Structure 1
């Protein structure tokens, strides 16, 4: 495979592929050649350093890496997460065909459907008011307590689908910093608040610390007997959940073949279902399933996740671009960049291949971003004129949910398209001088100022266009990025589905807690940590 990577490097150099501006000058119709649509979702990658030769090599690379074979193994329940000996089947959670999905000889779909049905029944009860709090009042507010995949996905999706909210108000607590839960609780009434404790093992320290605080909030206001009316859990540790005081019929499970960062489709999505209702949650699953089917069946040159992953790998490992910016021109996707940070960086931030040898070249990039147009007034300066090339990924809906504000959506679209065009076109020194001269600046001053107004251009970007951010569209978009991460992981030759990098710090924190509490000495800590302990606690 490295031979093909080397060929990509030499081909990019020989064909001057990174001169995207020149490519458009030579072929103004590039969009027709280097864009792909699936239903109403269009992916324009014509503003990347891809040409016919590079695209042909992409197909060769995907075949050599065995992407299609690995994809089929994932969907069929093979334990591709070999370091934990687990299947990777988040796709089964949105398997709307209901075709059997086998794990260790057992069809998991009956269990998947049973949990989904239980979630729906519970959500309907809370939303209708038939399931009430301890004092007989209806639930008006739901607080999800979780962290990582038990928080980032539900937060992102619930914010994204705000126009579809017709259930209780949703709140989210993740950080062990007491300020997070304190600031949340001070606006809530115990009688009308439901807490969801999302922890598979019911041992996650941040989640259980916050859950204990929430339990005390209910018990102090309403008594211990009220806890069972104001809590539910997403967990498989039934004994620990029962000890906490939550009845079994309020516990919703999931499986070890569902990774945390891929769990929004499972019972972890309960806060989203409570907010938008079971029907809209079903449409969310429908959108993801549609992308799953597209990923499994479309040829590489027309396959959105394949192409997105191949371009991403090309940017990282051929052109050596260290980061990618996620720039949704949709305010309700404000947490989508953070969600993708975990999805991508926890999956592909690895340094060891599936063979146990060091990764040759690079693995996953740094992923970051903010919604437009906010980012334009913050960090776009670096993307346009900084010394590092940062591929950008824009996303924009054709229409919003506020028809009376169509003029604002038009302005949003204009800004999105302008940024994409500016990154590609740039502005030459001569163009900068001419612009200054036209504004009346004398030649000497213009020559002095013009270099500061030069934009090198040839900054790559991908733009996604979709009709509207509906539950279906959001599910489809998330699944697209999930599969993109999978494709890149196969190309990097790493296991995208474990996360050992989160373990060491947690282990050390356990040992440091007694030191911080003054119950143990810091003698066995390194000098820096000893100094910091002294600065913090004396």
Structure 2
């Protein structure tokens, strides 16, 4: 059945509710605040301020049942070929837990455990030496997840190693990263699934020359042969990646070595345990009690039924300031597709544009548009209930702003002066972590992973390939000789731009 017809029921519900304001729904259903909220381990989420009522929610869960969402979740965990365009499973859940008895999943879990043992050995060896700083070189999924986790979970005082990240091919980034570092006390990790990523290879060459000693050069890759030939890295300093894990799902693997170096291997194991806890919830909970199902259905409701084109994520914790960057890749690279699994065109809106920033800073920049702009932007607010810094009054102010912004967006405020009126009716989801720990962060990130997968199931698209990133890189490679002045290439606009750049 074409997607547009499969979504007729929830679109009819959205049309019915188009003139029903959110405040009325909240007032008409006193039990809504409790009934539209769920907890899974250290994560609590309230969907009470989303623009659906119970009848619309029933239609959404009917849609999930129609696409056999529960079975499709089991297919993911059991290592079935959920990535048909590349003929692969997607076994990131096996990196952090052994929930499936399927042979392929058990084998993947065993490989992941062996890699973690090697990570511990490598960390111990580095800790026994003179290395104080680590430079992690990677881009995309080889950078965003580890960078987020290190920033979120590192304490106010650095641990045994200070971890730095280099992703951008811009030489200024390398220059700034290396400033103040001692090559004799620095180790370098080159993280690339294929070991053919242009940015990583160019930055790796800079770091290799800067080190002056290949003995502190390490790699995490599926292509050990290329790492050995291009950078002379021996097998004992190469950790594995696998084709059955996409880059944006890989922080749970040896790609997470920078995390383990920054916060310690025991804390890294806690991060994985938190993700495994969410995995167990998502796999075992009935749809109506399933946090990932609620989150996915809410996302589909807002974009495919209501036509809302963007989604904001607003963490109210400075340590989570990189979360929006991480989720941009996880969600938009996974769901930025315009054809179904069978190659036919998608005929509904799928992924919105994800963006965001950290509260309270963002309140003083773009929140004006959220409150009074013409576009309605759903928001995922993310807060931490218990702060662990000594500044209690600051934490109280942070939480009051978190809760106050969500309430103001939902309820608005009338005023005879139209310039001072707030329409309200702006939907949001509130996600609260008990505290910010490796366990709670692991659970939060796994929640988003499973939500993305279920959205893909609902839209009948593949969330595990990313062919859309390739064309621009291919064109860039063709243009490189022209940029160097060695040839002429490009369309008329590009040739004009090249002429301008050479002036």
Please indicate the TM-score interval, normalised by the length of the shorter structure.
over 0.9
- Structure-2 separation of matches of 1:151 and 1:6: 40
The one of 276, 280, 284 aligned to 2:267 = 280
Q: Are positions 1:371 and 2:346 aligned together?
A: no
- Cα-to-partner distance string for 1:104-150 (whole Å, 9 max, x where unaligned): x9822222111111011111222xx32x3xxxxx1111110000000
Q: Are positions 1:529 and 2:483 aligned together?
A: no
Q: Tell me, yes or no, if the aligned pair for 1:91 and 1:289 is still in contact at 8 Å.
A: yes
Residues 344-383 of structure 1 mapped to structure 2, 5 A cutoff: 344-383=331-370
Which residue matches 1:156?
A: 148
- Structure-2 separation of matches of 1:526 and 1:14: 49
Task: Give the Å deviation of 1:346.
Answer: 0.3
Which residue matches 2:481?
A: 514
Task: Give the Å deviation of 1:163.
Answer: 2.2
Q: TM-score, normalised by structure 1?
A: 0.90
The one of 55, 59, 62 aligned to 1:60 = 62
Q: Tell me, yes or no, if the aligned pair for 2:96 and 2:109 is still in contact at 8 Å.
A: no
The one of 31, 34, 49 aligned to 1:32 = 34
Q: Tell me, yes or no, if the aligned pair for 1:17 and 1:51 is still in contact at 8 Å.
A: no
Q: Tell me, yes or no, if the aligned pair for 2:17 and 2:52 is still in contact at 8 Å.
A: no
Q: How many residues align?
A: 499
Runs of 4 or more off by more than 3 Å in structure 1? Answer: 1-4, 15-18
Q: TM-score, normalised by structure 2?
A: 0.96
Q: Tell me, yes or no, if the aligned pair for 1:92 and 1:101 is still in contact at 8 Å.
A: no
Q: Are positions 1:408 and 2:394 aligned together?
A: yes
Shift in CA distance, 417/17, structure 1 to aligned 2, threshold 3 Å: farther
Gaps of 5+ in 2: none
Cα RMSD (Å): 1.5
Which residue matches 1:239?
A: 225
Which residue matches 2:13?
A: 11
Residues 175-324 of structure 1 mapped to structure 2, 5 A cutoff: 175-219=168-212, 226-228=213-215, 230-243=216-229, 244-324=231-311
- Structure-1 separation of matches of 2:106 and 2:133: 38
Which residue matches 1:146?
A: 138
Deviates most, 16-25 or 191-200: 16-25
Q: Are positions 1:473 and 2:440 aligned together?
A: yes
Gaps of 5+ in 1: 133-137, 220-225, 434-449
Q: Are positions 1:87 and 2:102 aligned together?
A: no
- Structure-1 separation of matches of 2:197 and 2:450: 28
Q: Tell me, yes or no, if the aligned pair for 1:96 and 1:286 is still in contact at 8 Å.
A: no
- Structure-2 separation of matches of 1:427 and 1:396: 24
- Structure-2 separation of matches of 1:479 and 1:238: 28
Which residue matches 1:44?
A: 46
- Structure-2 separation of matches of 1:521 and 1:27: 67
- Structure-2 separation of matches of 1:100 and 1:139: 41
- Structure-1 separation of matches of 2:486 and 2:102: 51
SS class of match (1:172): strand
SS class of match (2:155): helix
Task: Give the Å deviation of 1:327.
Answer: 0.1
Task: Give the Å deviation of 1:39.
Answer: 2.6
- Structure-2 separation of matches of 1:124 and 1:31: 49
Task: Give the Å deviation of 1:4.
Answer: 5.0
Shift in CA distance, 101/206, structure 1 to aligned 2, threshold 3 Å: farther
